Structure 1
Amino acid sequence: MQEYEYITLRQRPELKNRAAEWFYYKWGVPQEAYLECMESYLNNKTEYGWYLCLDKDRIIGGLGVIENDFHDRKDLTPNVCAVYTEEEYRCKGIAGHLLNMVVDDLKSKAISPIYLLTDHTGFYERYGWEFLCLVQGNDEPEMSRMYIHR
């Protein structure tokens, strides 16, 4: 069985630039936006962190936590964002492990509930997330599903 390393960016701050670039290529959000959020986390201005899965030194999965994931419900905060696992590593429990990691980390800091915006159905429920409501995404014609983890 393959062993992966699960870390917070605070554990490996030297990965910041590489992580920001990796998320940029997955989601198209400007790298500078990721760097700004990561800097706030690394400088202890926020507990909204960044979580990575590594295969040796390669980033193969990750997610972050931000104030608002581009939607109109500013009261539903913080938001897990940018959940991604490299295609060849999917169905190995990586995203689930990262989701559990972020929930445990934030709960240990008395940050609860947390929210997640997605178009997926069936996946997040496996990890204790519950459908909460539909929200309007910024610049999106369709409504998106908002999930909560209490």
Structure 2
Amino acid sequence: MSIWWSLHLRREAASVPLARRLLLGTMETAGVDPDVSYDLSVALSEACANAVEHGGDDAHGGTSEAYRVTAYLDGEKCRIEVADSGPGFPSGRPPTAVRPPRLDAEHGRGLCLIQELADHVHIGNKPGRGGTVVSFDKILKWRKDAPLVAV
């Protein structure tokens, strides 16, 4: 069984729950275990929130810029990719290790959460015109009554 979809979303806070609901609906329909679905939906929400907050060039009307979310459910794995058109990481170097923020910090937990909830995470700059890509995957577990289980 293979399912994939891609969304091109406006860089607005209202787009985050839309992407999350689509992912949860897809996983529920496919028969993915609810705990795995929840973990991936939280990770997706964090990646989308980062794209909304950091993923555009605010000097050129960044609120109207978009970001892209792509999800692949293929066999026993789900891969999610969130790509924005922001400045990317300085000097083209993403963080080699995401460190938890200070306890009193109000921001900075998103990438740490994604790393805790997913099995594999890759963070990097988009080649060419700039922007950041956060991709993560997780091995799927299925409900016993799953209609679309891979055989």
What is the TM-score when the length of structure 2 is the normalising length? 0.32
Q: Determine which structure has greater relative contact order: mean sequence separation of CA pairs < 8 Å that are 6+ residues apart, divided by chain length.
A: 2
Compare CA radii of gyration and give the structure with the larger one: 2
What is the TM-score when the length of structure 1 is the normalising length? 0.32
Structure with the larger strand share = 1
